[in-house]
Amino acid sequence: MHDEIKEVLISEEEIQKKTKELASVITEQFDGEFPLAVGVLKGAMPFMSDLLKRIDTHIEMDFMDVSSYEGGMRSTGEVKIIKDLNTKVKGRDILIIEDIIDSGLTLSYLVDLFKYRQANSITIVTLLDKPSGRQSDIKADLVGFEVPDAFVVGYGLDYQEKYRNLPYIGVLKPEIYS
């Protein structure tokens, strides 16, 4: 365990087991279809990579870099598109892949954007859900784990661009970010 991590909340083994379960549900849901998987950069990369390897149906992938955080710990409330999709979504079934739903502002923005762009359907899968931080009524269709109101890092989640490469989800020691 990294010395700046207070505790491991979700182990690498638990993440991989849950990812496999979620992939089975997605495979069944989209069997015979050709959905567009949209990874929300940068945090969703490890989860998206592991998830897509286990989905046993054709799937196209693209990425968006969208944020309501500006290097801090709390959402600014203003969502910015840093990198848009290269793929048209009109008439497509969209699978949004997120690392964590906290405030829900970014995800609400994406859902509204894809509806505006006339997506056929929108399914949201997230590795982590932190309902205590919610500032919108958005809900994921598929959730890996619910996490408490703690500063979690690892497996794509960061603090000041650090800890993304940890293979587990850990709680960051308060003295690191306070």
Q: Is 174 helix (H, G, I), strand (E, B) or coil?
A: helix
Which DSSP category does 91 fall into?
Answer: T
So which residues are the catalytic ones? 102
Q: How far apart are the C-alpha atoms of 102 and 72, rounded to whole Å?
A: 14
Cis peptide before 17 (omega within 30 of 0): no
Q: With H, G, I as helix, E, B as strand and everything else as coil, classify residue 69.
A: coil
Pairwise CA distance, residues 38 & 48, whole Å? 9
